[in-house]
């Protein structure tokens, strides 16, 4: 993008920073959208309920069974019709309690009680015992089965609901609906707080990003955690557990300050850029590895890569625990660094908005002429997010050519990301072309890494 015509979709020059289109793409032809984002539908509870009721009714009609029995079987077979048909022929369900006679109840041992039984097994008990049994099973989150000795008949929805009126009955219906959603393939609830939206995948279920249309929560469709490509779901769970372990607390591992490598003065990081200049001695160094910045620019792959101890004698003396902790600290500090930088993104965007506002007030172009700052800011946030989740993957990878390639791509993205961050923090010193070039380079590096890890 080189001139204001490229931003005609943003509207008139009288727009404010916040009104500028947020979905800025540097190269839509090369977008990784299909790799990262899941094609899906967002359904209300009512809409999904009507869908599964229709499927259950169709199955019930073709098999000449009740809808409640159909739903029970379909849930147990994850809505696989052929499997459900086989289960139907090998299982029995109690769909309705019917009054049989007055007699002695074998459970409560009281005489002259109205007894009720399931047509499937004819085990007779009084209504009070049926209710108590049903209520107890539901409170324990267990299937409701017949009380008869060794009887495996399961009570369906239509048999249970008359036995638990009121709040417990309503709770049972809610739990039953949750079970239907959880059992349905390619469907899950949005994990956002107080959000009832149901997400239905339109492609094979996989660990892709979903952004809820209702609450804007972003999550991985497969595991429900924050989107974490290029790290696998099983790996990110182990990593997060490791990070929360009391023996390796974040307070011990990462701090907000570092000593200047030159003069030892205490420095607190206040921005997202890793290019740090000591306020006392003006020494320039990398926040991540503390290396001299002048010698650092072309060696990001060295900064990002964990290096095993090359000294064999020293390695023998170093305990396994200490060596393991050293490796963990290396990756955690870089993970935590990007996490902290991402938390500063709102302030960073406000700073970019202030720059644009100042230039517009000076009649140095319109808001549209400064839209490249917002686009570059979005690219920077995307790059930091991707980089954050490269470190858990690298930590668990075995030493191999695959890991060498991954860490090289990781290092290139780190370099391009920091170059873009530095230029944006000093946006007035750089031309539009220089900022767009830095933004395009960072986006291209991110695309390369995302695409290559999707194929591994």
- Domain-embedded: residue 153: yes
- Domain-embedded: residue 203: no
Whether residues 62 and 12 share a domain: the answer is no
pLDDT digits (tens, 9 = 90+) for 261-285: 887 777 777 667 788 888 888 888 8
Between 427 and 420, the higher pLDDT residue: 420
Q: Which of 73-77, 249-253, 322-326, 359-363 has the lowest mean pLDDT?
A: 249-253
- Domain-embedded: residue 38: no
Q: Active-site residue numbers?
A: 273
Whether residues 272 and 344 share a domain: the answer is yes
Final residue in a domain of this structure, among 137, 163, 182 = 182
Q: Which of 31-35, 48-52, 160-164, 310-314 has the lowest mean pLDDT?
A: 310-314
Pairwise CA distance, residues 218 & 224, whole Å: 9
The order of strands in the sheet holding 97-103 is 97-103, 113-118, 124-126
> 24 with 443: CB under 8 angstroms?
no
pLDDT digits (tens, 9 = 90+) for 361-400: 777 766 676 777 888 888 999 999 999 999 999 999 999 9
Final residue in a domain of this structure, among 141, 166, 182 = 182
Final residue in a domain of this structure, among 182, 217, 249 = 182
CATH number, domain with residue 124: 3.30.40.10
- Domain-embedded: residue 356: yes
Residue 217 has pLDDT above 70, yes or no: yes
Range of the domain at 98: 43-182
pTM above 0.85, yes or no: no
Number of domains comprising the chain: 2
Q: Please report the DSSP string for 348-412 in residue order.
A: HHHHHHHHHHHHHHTTSS-TGGGHHHHHHHHHHHHHHHHHHTHHHHHHHSPSSHHHHHHHHHHHH
- Domain-embedded: residue 123: yes
Whether residues 272 and 415 share a domain: the answer is yes
Whether residues 155 and 275 share a domain: the answer is no
Whether residues 24 and 79 share a domain: the answer is no
């Amino acid at each position: 993008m080189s001139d204001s015509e490229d931003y005609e979709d943003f509207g008139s020059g009288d727009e404010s920073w916040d009104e500028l289109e947020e979905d800025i793409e540097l190269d839509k032809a090369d977008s990784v959208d299909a790799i990262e984002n899941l094609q899906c539908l967002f359904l209300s509870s009512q809409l999904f309920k009507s869908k599964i009721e229709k499927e259950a009714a169709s199955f019930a009609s073709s098999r000449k069974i009740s809808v409640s029995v159909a739903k029970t079987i379909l849930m147990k077979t994850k809505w696989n019709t052929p499997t459900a048909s086989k289960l139907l022929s090998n299982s029995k369900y109690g769909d309705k309690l019917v009054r049989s006679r007055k007699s002695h109840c074998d459970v409560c041992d009281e005489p002259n009680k109205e007894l009720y039984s399931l047509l499937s097994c004819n085990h007779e008990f009084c209504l009070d015992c049926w209710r108590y049994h049903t209520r107890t099973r539901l409170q324990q989150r267990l299937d409701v089965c017949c009380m008869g000795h060794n009887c495996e008949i399961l009570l369906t929805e239509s048999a249970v609901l008359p036995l638990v009126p009121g709040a417990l009955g309503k709770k049972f219906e809610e739990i039953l609906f949750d079970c239907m959603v959880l059992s349905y393939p390619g469907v899950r609830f949005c994990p956002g707080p107080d959000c009832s939206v149901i997400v239905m995948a339109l492609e094979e279920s996989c660990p892709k990003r979903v952004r809820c249309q209702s609450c804007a929560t972003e999550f991985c469709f497969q595991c429900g955690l924050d989107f974490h490509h290029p790290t696998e779901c099983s790996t990110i769970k182990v990593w997060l557990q490791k990070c929360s372990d009391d023996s390796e607390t974040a307070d011990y591992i990462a701090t907000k300050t570092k000593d200047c490598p030159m003069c030892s003065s205490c420095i607190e990081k206040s921005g997202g850029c890793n290019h740090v200049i000591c306020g006392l001695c003006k020494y320039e160094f990398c926040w991540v590895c503390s290396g001299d910045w002048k010698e650092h620019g072309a060696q990001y792959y060295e900064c990002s890569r964990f290096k095993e101890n090359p000294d064999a004698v020293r390695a023998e003396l170093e305990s396994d625990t200490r060596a393991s902790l050293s490796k963990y600290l290396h990756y955690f500090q870089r993970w935590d660094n990007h996490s902290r930088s991402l938390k500063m993104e709102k302030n960073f965007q406000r700073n970019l908005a202030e720059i644009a506002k100042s230039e517009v007030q000076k009649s140095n172009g319109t808001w549209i002429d400064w839209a490249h700052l917002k686009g570059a800011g979005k690219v920077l946030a995307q790059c930091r997010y991707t980089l954050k989740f490269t470190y858990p993957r690298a930590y668990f990878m075995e030493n191999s050519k695959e890991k060498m390639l991954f860490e090289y791509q990781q290092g290139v993205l780190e370099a391009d990301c920091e170059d873009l961050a530095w230029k944006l923090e000093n946006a007035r010193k750089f031309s539009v072309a220089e900022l767009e070039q830095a933004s395009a380079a960072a986006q291209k590096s991110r695309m390369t890494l995302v695409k290559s890890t999707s194929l591994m």
